[in-house]
Amino acid sequence: MTTYIDPSPANFQAFKDLPRDRPIHMLNLLQFRDNAEYPQGHEHAGKGWSGKRAYQEYGKTSGPIFQRVGGSIVWRGAFETMVTGPDAKQWHEGFVAQYPNSGAFFEMIKDPEYQLAVVNRTAALVDSRLMRFEPGAAGEGFG
């Protein structure tokens, strides 16, 4: 089974090649580890945290940076069942993060405090997806 925690160089380049001057939505799908996997010697290693608990720590430590760059959560939900897609794929949570532009996202991930916080995300997740969307209008119907 192939899992994904960080972007590939090609996917990250595709993200960087898109327009940087408009709002973006980032769909996040998360599958937590049963037990967080911190590097040996990390302050949280050996605490017996679940993956979900480690992700909560990521949210606590990265949240102020996310908010400072203008980010907000526009939707969050707990996974219930796969309707269309591989039966074996189970996500625990999903959310959509909004950024004023991709420059704000870059500012966040380059922040030294964020880079310290991201170890919690890596420890927490067995698999994830991160997809960029151009925000569209909400309303009635599918088309």
Q: Give the tens place of pLDDT for each residue, 68-105.
A: 999 999 999 999 999 999 887 889 999 999 999 999 99
**Residue 40, number of CB atoms within 10 A of its CB:** 6
What pLDDT shows up at residue 100?
98
At 21-37, the pLDDT tens digits run: 999 999 999 999 999 99
Structure tokens at 83: 């309707």
Q: Is the pLDDT of residue 135 over 80?
A: yes
CATH code that applies to domain 21-133? 3.30.70.100
Three-class SS state of 94:
strand
- Tell me the domain boundaries of the chain: 21-133
Amino acid identity of residue 121, one-letter, is: R
User: What pLDDT is attached to residue 2?
Assistant: 81
18 has pLDDT over 90: yes
Q: Is the pLDDT of residue 106 over 80?
A: yes
Q: Average of pLDDT values for 60-70?
A: 98
User: Which tokens belong to 105?
Assistant: 């996202």
For a pLDDT cut of 90, what percent of the chain falls above it? Answer: 85
Q: Which of 89, 123, 80 is nearest to 2 (CA)?
A: 89
Residue 143: is its pLDDT beyond 80?
no
pLDDT digits (tens, 9 = 90+) for 47-57: 999 999 999 99
Tokens of 117: 């916080």
